[in-house]
Amino acid sequence: MYKLNILVVIDMQNDFIDGALGTKEAVTIIPNVIRKIENFTGEIFVTKDTHQDEYLNTSEGKKLPVIHCIKDTKGWELNGEIEKALSDREVKVFQKPTFGSVELAEYIKELADSKNIDASEMKIELIGVCTDICVISNSLLLKAYFPEANIIVDSDCCAGVIPDTHNNALEAMKMCQIEVL
């Protein structure tokens, strides 16, 4: 039994599900993500890809010139079904301007330190989108912060940009000692 059990729901926002960068695979995982949230016992954290109006002038915007997840727009909001599943839970949300959230990792470190919990007593599970961008970035970041923690990615609750890159990301995470369900 882990002393700190964490679920990280990555970027389940409208623009990544059925909006500007949405995919049929992202739509398909919604019931799995809802079940995972509803049956999870422990801390739940949510990340939200968060950009500003000048997104196209950023490094990411120049490489991915698709306006998405502009703060306070419909595309930036969490999917309604996911929001509903989270509504009766205490959830901390991390807005991130890039793929991985250092703020999330630092918060988990502070939480563990405040409870005197060693990384080996932690389980951190990640679900969401996109497997091949933000899920892999956050899982590797968390593995770097907590090399002794049990870092898990549930592939049934993840979707990538395309199925091939989703699968490539899962294989890369396995090579980095991240457990893939």
In tens digits, the chain (181 residues) has pLDDT values of: 789 999 999 999 999 999 999 999 999 999 999 999 999 999 999 999 999 999 889 898 899 887 899 999 999 999 999 999 999 999 999 999 999 999 999 999 999 999 999 999 999 999 999 999 999 999 999 999 999 999 999 999 999 999 999 999 999 999 999 999 9
pLDDT score for 54: 92
What is the pLDDT at residue 61?
87
Helix (H) or strand (E) holding 72: none
Q: What was the pLDDT predicted at 167?
A: 97
CA-based nearest residue to 135, from 164, 161, 109: 161
> Domain 4-180, what architecture?
3-Layer(aba) Sandwich (3.40)
CB atoms within 10 A of CB 59: 8
Type of residue numbered 149: A
Cα radius of gyration rounded to whole Å, the chain: 15
Residues 81 and 5: their CA atoms lie apart, in Å, by 23
pLDDT score, position 2? 84
Distance CA 141, CA 178 (A): 11
Q: What pLDDT is stored for residue 56 in this prediction? A: 86
- In this prediction, residue 64 carries a pLDDT of 85
